[in-house]
Chain A
């Protein structure tokens, strides 16, 4: 659990982060959203004390983060940034082993951990371990960046626009991978992004920042349904709102009894994908199949449209 209490950061007269308080539950993914200059990155960097707060306190699992020296604190917290920040003069394996080396692990243990992480991120350890970062594609570099952040098995992972430099297709894949990793390790992830779509897609909770203030901190559904201010509403984008809401739900929750003609959709797909498919194929309903391919019912345009309406 991360407790942020009345944290403020001032540079001269201006407060870039202004009296922010929030509690981040363990094993959740929290997305901090805001425009540039909203203080979201500064807030993130105060958690691992890359930036020291002017006032206020942050406690990680009940312990004040100022109780240990900065470098020692940061070795226990994962950190991944936009453009991945890989060390160009070190191989992929050496990059991933950075924090374990700082922690003084023995070579065999580091190698085992590096291989494990590379395999987890679908990179062949024998092929990729000895390569240099510039020999990898952007998506591969990003995965190595995540592997490096996870190397010492941190409970908390801080990510600053980790997918900012990726193209849309690789970005979607990377987001799925991150979700899988989070489920597997139970890591508490705090992710900074300017993209509300990404925040809605990934976040268990979303913190919206504007001009240094925390304007809303709630679940994606709540933010979409009841934006706390005009700013949040603008950030969501009024025209995208119903579709974002649908994207939060799976088809399984919208299944109605009955059958329908034409191609089927999987029960795990999002409701947004189902509606898009229906609109595109000009049908009023389509069959829904479970994982084993059996038709278990149908979804209808009518039913989905109801679900896209503002929750009451």
Chain B
């Protein structure tokens, strides 16, 4: 039989082999801040699950390595990922001594590397499947449902990150809400201000370079420096404008975090609006004017619909960027998932850092997939290519 290798599969198999056989699967710590002891798959799992997982990973690795049919590859990656996430929970329960609430078990590099390898296989398979935008959103929803089920079923309860969560379950959700409010609120503000500003920059050429340069400069200011810069003016406003303090405007806290995120968001929104409107075919614009559309009619009926996919791409950039950036709001008491990250760093507790980081990454990832799909739908519904 003719055996042929899959190019990406070679890389995936190599990574998976390292993750399964060389790197530790889980880390055991007597308490949350002492250095951990690595455990291999065979040590971390009760018999016969350890050897079974190894066999399963080898099988999935082989599927990746060789040229195999697409459904087999998808199935293998999903099976490998499912067994990994299920068994890490079992490993945590198995490694934790009965009744010991101080011990911590967390996934180690081997687990993450294996997850990465098979996610790569899954992503490659999904790409080859060429899912429609709606299909991608459905796939995302299925993955989210699977993870929610795992969390709700209690199979991961012994993992260190969830132990951190249980200690902070009340604050977790309020910080999550704060995080989303910061990211989406500043995005909304940026769209409300940035769209008209972008339209203005498009129409008034004299404004364009100036506005975009100022926004570019703002974009280059490091976030910490921007917080520092904002303390003085916001503090002054709070002290001197009646009612400002009452609605939460202060030198530190949510207000400067919100303002900083808003300022960072402006550039992508304004720049993409300008680029999108600039990309409207000249002939279409001229025809619209020549047929008697007023300035507003031209904007709403011709320019804006044609620029929409590009503007939406700007909004996608902002949303993903803001979900990540909102973590630093915690530095100045703005709240959000950053609270756990910075507490964790302060306490040398990596699990706590992960409690802040993992939801942030997951949210950014989901936002990227959803908005990419929306951008694609918008772009195909409004074809912009013109052939002569």
Q: Give the residues from 355 to 388 in chain B that come closer than 8 angstroms, CB to CB, to chain A.
A: 382-388
> A87: which of B284, B385, B387 is its contact (CB, 8 Å)?
B284
Interface size for A (C-beta < 8 A) is: 31
Q: Give the residues from 95 to 110 in chain A that come closer than 8 angstroms, CB to CB, to chain B.
A: 98-99, 102
> B283: which of A74, A76, A81 is its contact (CB, 8 Å)?
A81
Does A216 have its Cβ within 8 Å of any Cβ on chain B? no
> A74: which of B281, B289, B306, B388 is its contact (CB, 8 Å)?
B289
When distances are taken between beta carbons in the complex, the residues of chain B under 8 Å from A79 are 287, 290-291
Q: Are B386 and A134 in contact (CB under 8 A)?
A: yes
Q: Are A84 and B290 in contact (CB under 8 A)?
A: no
Does B213 have its Cβ within 8 Å of any Cβ on chain A? no
> A71: which of B293, B305, B387 is its contact (CB, 8 Å)?
B293
When distances are taken between beta carbons in the complex, the residues of chain A under 8 Å from B290 are 48, 50, 74, 79, 81, 85, 158
When distances are taken between beta carbons in the complex, the residues of chain B under 8 Å from A74 are 289-292
**With known contacts A132-B383, A134-B385, A134-B386, A86–B287 Cβ distance under 8 A:** yes
Does B288 have its Cβ within 8 Å of any Cβ on chain A? yes
**With known contacts A74-B290, A88-B306, A89-B306, A134–B387 Cβ distance under 8 A:** yes
Q: Using a Cβ cutoff of 8 Å, how many contacts connect chains A and B?
A: 84
> B291: which of A82, A99, A138 is its contact (CB, 8 Å)?
A99
Closest beta carbon of chain B to A299's beta carbon, Å: 40
Q: Are B292 and A85 in contact (CB under 8 A)?
A: no
Does A59 have its Cβ within 8 Å of any Cβ on chain B? no
Does A186 have its Cβ within 8 Å of any Cβ on chain B? no
When distances are taken between beta carbons in the complex, the residues of chain A under 8 Å from B305 are 89
Q: Are B283 and A85 in contact (CB under 8 A)?
A: yes
In angstroms, Cα B302 to Cα A216, docked, is: 39
Does B98 have its Cβ within 8 Å of any Cβ on chain A? no
> B292: which of A88, A102, A158, A165 is its contact (CB, 8 Å)?
A102
Q: Are A88 and B293 in contact (CB under 8 A)?
A: no
When distances are taken between beta carbons in the complex, the residues of chain B under 8 Å from A84 are 283, 287
**With known contacts A71-B294, A102-B297, A138-B388, A87–B288 Cβ distance under 8 A:** yes
> B284: which of A88, A134, A149, A165 is its contact (CB, 8 Å)?
A88
Q: Are B287 and A50 in contact (CB under 8 A)?
A: no
In angstroms, Cα B283 to Cα A5, docked, is: 29
Q: Give the residues from 48 to 72 in chain B that come closer than 8 angstroms, CB to CB, to chain A.
A: none
When distances are taken between beta carbons in the complex, the residues of chain B under 8 Å from A70 are 292
Q: Most chain-A CB neighbours within 10 Å: which of B290, B293, B302?
A: B290
Q: Most chain-B CB neighbours within 10 Å: which of A70, A88, A145?
A: A88
Closest beta carbon of chain B to A143's beta carbon, Å: 14
Q: Are B291 and A88 in contact (CB under 8 A)?
A: no
When distances are taken between beta carbons in the complex, the residues of chain B under 8 Å from A50 are 286, 289-290
When distances are taken between beta carbons in the complex, the residues of chain B under 8 Å from A48 are 290
**With known contacts A82-B283, A84-B283, A134-B387, A89–B289 Cβ distance under 8 A:** no
Q: Are B384 and A85 in contact (CB under 8 A)?
A: no
0/1 interface trace, chain A 55-79, chain B, CB 8 Å (1 if under): 0000000000000001111111001
0/1 interface trace, chain B 290-320, chain A, CB 8 Å (1 if under): 1111100100011001100000000000000
In angstroms, Cα B283 to Cα A82, docked, is: 8
In angstroms, Cα B292 to Cα A149, docked, is: 11
Does A220 have its Cβ within 8 Å of any Cβ on chain B? no
Closest beta carbon of chain B to A51's beta carbon, Å: 11
Q: Most chain-B CB neighbours within 10 Å: which of A48, A71, A72?
A: A71
When distances are taken between beta carbons in the complex, the residues of chain A under 8 Å from B386 are 86, 88, 133-134
When distances are taken between beta carbons in the complex, the residues of chain A under 8 Å from B388 are 83, 138, 165
Q: Are B384 and A88 in contact (CB under 8 A)?
A: yes
Q: Are B293 and A85 in contact (CB under 8 A)?
A: no
When distances are taken between beta carbons in the complex, the residues of chain B under 8 Å from A252 are none
Does A148 have its Cβ within 8 Å of any Cβ on chain B? yes
In angstroms, Cα B385 to Cα A148, docked, is: 20
**With known contacts A73-B292, A75-B292, A89-B305, A81–B287 Cβ distance under 8 A:** yes
Closest beta carbon of chain B to A245's beta carbon, Å: 34
Can you report 21 A-B residue pairs in the complex whose CB atoms are below 8 A from each other? Answer: A48-B290, A73-B292, A74-B290, A75-B291, A82-B283, A83-B388, A84-B283, A85-B288, A86-B287, A87-B284, A87-B306, A88-B383, A88-B385, A89-B305, A89-B382, A98-B291, A99-B291, A99-B292, A102-B291, A134-B385, A138-B388
Apart from A86-B287, A133-B386, A134-B386, list 13 A-B contacts with CB within 8 A: A48-B290, A70-B292, A71-B294, A73-B292, A81-B286, A83-B388, A84-B287, A87-B306, A88-B284, A88-B382, A89-B384, A132-B383, A165-B388
Interface pairs A-B: 4 shortest CB-CB? A85-B287, A75-B292, A79-B290, A74-B292
**Residues on B close to A: CB < 8 A?**
281, 283-294, 297, 301-302, 305-306, 382-388
